[in-house]
Amino acid sequence: MSATKNGIGIEINAQRTATSATTTTAVTPTKRLPGDYGELDVEQRGPICVITFKRSAVRNALTRRGYYELIRALADATFSETITTVVLTGAAGNFSAGNDLTQLRQYADPQAFLRCSEYVLSLLIKAFIYCPKVLVALVDGACIGIGFVIAALCDVVYCTERAYFQAPFTQYGICPEGCLTYLLPQLLGRVKAAELLLFGTRLSADEALCYNFVARIIQATDIEQQFWPQLEQYARLPLESLRATKRLLSEAERTQLLNALKAECGELKSLRLGATYQRAIEAFVNRKGREGGVLSKNKL
**Domains by residue range for the chain, with CATH:** 14-291 (3.90.226.10)
> Taking a C-beta distance cutoff of 8 angstroms, is the pair 136, 85 a contact?
yes
Query: Does position 43 have pLDDT exceeding 70, yes or no?
Result: yes
The mean pLDDT value of the chain amounts to: 88
pLDDT for residue 52: 98
Nearest Cα to Cα of residue 33 among 89, 74, 5: 74
Distance of alpha carbon 222 from alpha carbon 95, whole angstroms: 17
**Inter-residue long-range contacts of 290-295, CB under 8 Å, 24+ positions, other chains counted:** 293/57, 293/58, 293/102, 295/57, 295/58, 295/59, 295/61, 295/97
Residue 151 exposure: Cα atoms within 13 Å on the Cβ side: 34
pLDDT for residue 213: 98
Query: Does position 15 have pLDDT exceeding 60, yes or no?
Result: no
pLDDT tens for each residue of 19-30: 343 343 556 778
pLDDT tens for each residue of 242-284: 999 999 999 999 999 999 999 999 999 999 988 899 888 888 7
Residues 82-96: what's their mean pLDDT? 98
Percent of residues, the chain, with pLDDT higher than 70: 87
- pTM, to two decimals: 0.87
